[in-house]
């Protein structure tokens, strides 16, 4: 990976305002872990309430919000993996926003987002 890409990614992860922006969709998301490659968010209260159990596809909206913000702020694209989802009976949501799309692709399937 070219040195400029890593520096840009690290600046994006460390930016407090960008992290706060990731958390504003509601539902009580909190940051579990931040590394240069990914941001892991957890939540025990779905932003869509009980309706999500009847329409689990709503999880894709959460993925889109997190992935779009990350892709625009890194300028390199992002990928989102929903490891746990309240919508399908898990006790919490656990969402991993991969800032290193190449690493994510090698390890997990996920939704990819390109910078706009």
Of 72, 42, 47, residue with least CA distance to 59? 47
Q: Is the pLDDT of residue 16 over 60?
A: no
Strand partners, 30: 42
pLDDT value at 29 more than 70: yes
Highest-confidence range of 23-37, 62-76, 95-109, by mean pLDDT? 62-76
> Residue 76: its pLDDT value, please?
86
> Comparing C-alpha atoms, which of 73, 75, 98, 97 is closest to residue 16?
73
Asked whether residue 23 carries a pLDDT value surpassing 50, the answer given is no
High-pLDDT (> 70) share of the chain, %: 72
Q: How far apart are CA 25 and CA 48, in angstroms?
A: 10
Nearest to 27 by CA among 10, 54, 49: 49
Q: 63-79: string of b/e by CB count within 10 Å (b at 16+)?
A: bebbbbbbbbbbebbbb
**Mean pLDDT over residues 79-85, rounded?**
94
Could you tell me where the DSSP H helices lie in 1-116? 3-14, 16-22, 59-74, 101-107
């Amino acid at each position: 990976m070219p040195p400029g890409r890593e520096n840009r990614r690290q600046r994006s992860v460390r930016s407090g305002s960008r992290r706060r922006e990731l958390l504003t969709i509601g539902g009580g998301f909190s940051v579990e872990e931040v590394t240069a490659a990914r941001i892991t968010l957890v939540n025990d209260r779905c932003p869509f309430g009980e309706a999500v159990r009847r329409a689990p596809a709503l999880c894709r909206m959460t993925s889109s919000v997190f992935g779009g913000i990350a892709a625009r702020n890194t300028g390199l694209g992002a990928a989102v993996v929903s490891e746990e989802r309240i919508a399908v009976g898990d006790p919490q949501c656990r969402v991993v926003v991969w800032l290193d799309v190449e690493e994510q692709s090698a390890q997990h399937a996920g939704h990819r987002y390109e910078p706009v």
